[in-house]
Chains A and B, each alone.
Chain A
């Protein structure tokens, strides 16, 4: 089945130690998104790629970076995680940016910062 895969499902990192979260898709969608969801809060968009074009949300901290080496993979890099970055990180894809196309979400990676 076509799907959005996130690895790992659970990640523990130390304060200030760089960490990378991975997302892959078999849907061949053009758009890939990264959301941050803190406990009991709504998901918040960090950034997205349309193909190779990167779009950063205005309030996304510089500590968060992303890479999309090819259509299938997208990575979220947190350069110096703080305790406040502990959250569920959700990857999503959509065929196009038009609202006619819904977003498909992966299962998420729960990040713990110690």
Chain B
């Protein structure tokens, strides 16, 4: 079965410091991995994805993620956090076991809190 784990419910970081939001996955085939961000009472916004190619993926708002196949991880990173980055972050993996092959399996989310 496909699954995504986000081991931290909350990550706290001071503005200007680097941040990491962790994600590990389990899939039977090749993983398609995504990060989305959700602000309060808003829908999800796409940040970045890994399909194939370079292990370091760059996305929106200065975020990047590193795909590590041996550790089955896809951690989200940013070199310098902003207060406005405070939000709920979801890691997701593409469910290729689904007949249509299109369902996203989401992790339970990690709340990022950036203090000024």
Which residue numbers of A lie inside 8 Å of B, CB to CB?
A: 4, 6, 9, 31, 33, 40-45, 48, 50, 55, 57, 90, 92, 94, 97, 99-100, 102-108, 110
CB within 8 Å: A-B pair count: 64
Contacts of B90 in A (CB 8 A): 42-43
Q: Are A102 and B34 in contact (CB under 8 A)?
A: yes
State which residues 93-116 of B face A: CB under 8 Å. Answer: 94, 98-104, 106-109
Given A99-B51, A99-B94, answer yes or no on A4-B103 (Cβ-Cβ < 8 Å): no
| B43 in contact with A102 (CB, 8 Å) | no
Beyond A99-B32, A100-B51, whether A105 also contacts B100 by CB under 8 A is: no
Closest CB-CB distance, A79 to chain B, in whole Å? 23
Do residues B104 and A103 form an inter-chain contact, with CB atoms below 8 A? Answer: yes
Q: B100, A48: Cβ atoms under 8 Å? A: yes
Q: Is the CB of A4 within 8 A of B107?
A: no
Bound complex: CA A4 to CA B49 (Å): 20
Q: A33-B102, A50-B100 are in contact. List 14 more A-B contacts (CB 8 A).
A: A4-B43, A6-B43, A42-B90, A43-B90, A48-B102, A50-B102, A57-B103, A99-B32, A102-B34, A102-B46, A105-B44, A105-B45, A107-B42, A108-B43
Query: In whole angstroms, how far apart are the Cα atoms of A106 and B88 in the complex?
Result: 16
Which 8 A/B pairs are nearest by Cβ-Cβ distance? A105-B43, A42-B106, A99-B32, A97-B102, A105-B44, A102-B46, A107-B43, A45-B103
